[in-house]
Each structure stands twice: as C-alpha cells, then as structure tokens.
Amino acid sequence: YILPIFPAMALLTAAYWEDRLMESSPQSAQHKRPWVELFQSILMITAGLGLLIWGHGLNLAAEPSLPLLSWLMIGMGCIGLVLIFIENYRALFLCYLAGCALSVLLIVHQIFPQIDAIESSRQLAAKLESEEYQGEPVFTYGVPRRIAYGLSFYLNSETNIISSLDQIDARDAKSFYLLTVSSANAAEFDHRFEVEKEVPFHRQRLWKLHSK
C-alpha cells in the first residue's frame, strides 16, 4: 500500500541533499541550524539503542541479526553527530550513503532469509510436498491468515481456515493435514482423529491425521 510514496520520497531526498551539498558558504544560515541532520542522527541512535535493548522482546524472526543492525545504526548516528559538529556535510552525505548501502546488504543477505523462512508460506508448502502431500484437505488453526492464504497460493488448492477444531470436516478424505501453532498438543483432537505424522516447522506444527 505504501509503495507509491517511495519514488516521490527519493526525489525529495535527492533534491534536499543536492541543495545542501551545493551551498557555497559553510557559514550560511542553513548550516548554522542543521536541524534535519541532527534529527536524522539522533533518530538513528535512538532506534539502534531501542532495538539493542528491547529487540529481543519483539518476537521477530530476524532477532539474531538485530544487534548488528543496531550497532550499524548507532555508529552511523554517532559519526553523523561528529560530522555535523565540524560542518562537513559532504562527508556526512557519504556516511549516510555508505550506511544505507551496508543496511541494505545486511537486510537482503541476513534478515530477509530469516523472515522468509517463517513469514512466507513458500517453504511451508515445499515442506508439505516433501511429506508426500497428494492434494489432501489442509486445515489451518491458530496461525495467521496470511500463512493460510499463501499456502493456498503455493499449493494451488484451497486451504480451510478454522477457528475451532470442531469445524474440521474431512469425512470424504482418507486423511488430511492440520497446520497449527507450535504449542498445539495432540490431546486437543486425539479423541476424534488419529495422528499419522507430526512435523514441526519453525513456529508451526503440521499434523497428518485421519478420522477414527
């Protein structure tokens, strides 16, 4: 939904830095009040410290990479404050540019793969197919809807989202699959179904069941 704003943001940012770098006098009125640069540096330091202190409580898939990202943000912010103090805005621009490039590399190569393994249904669908999935009904219970919808896409079949285990209706199938959160216990449904297979998968648990 927010994707259309980024071209405009990029143009505005480029225009701002072009004006900043083209200023002839380092003692201009604008340079005496570098509020935007100060705000950027303080924001990066604050965000980095926040991730470092409270990041472990966010239950994020990319938690192992957060300390590195935190120190990168803190380092950029601190260097930025020094460069603002000595009014070296060309070096400040290069600092921010290098920091953004390093952040993108870190996100693409470290953070995205960790998030993709949990938040995307692609690997879950591949895991299901590796368990000899043959088009049996698939029910999801207690997992986010985006995972259920993604699973429908990658399996090319409809996934049944249920809010109660009593809603499982697989009388026409010899067996079916149930996707639940990892904390689910077979005791919740073993009075109605027999477990053929139980497969843990990151924060979910996949069950292959059949009616008694």
Burial of 102 (0-12, 13-18, 19+ CB in 10 A): middle
Q: Across residues 199-203, what is the average pLDDT?
A: 80
Tokens of 139: 């029910």
- Which phi and psi angles does 16 have, rounded to 5°? -65, -50
If one compares 75 and 29, the residue with the highest pLDDT of the two is 75
> In sequence order, what are the residues at sequence separation of 6 or more whose Cβ sits closer than 8 angstroms to the Cβ of residue 176?
136, 137, 138, 139, 168, 170, 208, 209, 210
Residue 8 has pLDDT above 90, yes or no: yes
Residue 46 has pLDDT above 90, yes or no: yes
Do 133 and 155 contact (CB within 8 A), yes or no? yes
What strands, in cross-sheet order, belong to the sheet with 176-181?
160-162, 138-141, 176-181, 204-211, 193-201
Tokens of 15: 């225009």
The pLDDT value given to residue 29: 43
If one compares 154 and 26, the residue with the highest pLDDT of the two is 154
Strands 138-141 and 160-162, sheet pairing:
parallel
The pLDDT value given to residue 5: 93
Q: Encode pLDDT of 127-151 as tens digits.
A: 888 888 888 888 888 888 888 888 8
Q: How far apart are CA 17 and CA 19, in angstroms?
A: 5
Share of the chain above pLDDT 70, in %: 87
Buried/exposed code over 63-82 (b: 16+ C-beta within 10 A; e: otherwise): eebbeebbebbbbbbebbbe
* C-beta atoms surrounding 161 within 10 Å: 17
Q: Encode pLDDT of 102-120 as tens digits.
A: 888 888 887 777 777 666 7
| DSSP run (H or E) holding 49 | helix 35-54
The pLDDT value given to residue 209: 86
* C-beta atoms surrounding 177 within 10 Å: 24
Beta strands in the chain (DSSP E): 138-141, 160-162, 176-181, 193-201, 204-211
Q: Encode pLDDT of 64-110 as tens digits.
A: 777 888 898 999 999 989 988 888 888 888 888 888 888 888 888 87
The pLDDT value given to residue 121: 83
pLDDT band per the 50, 70, 90 thresholds, residue 45? very high
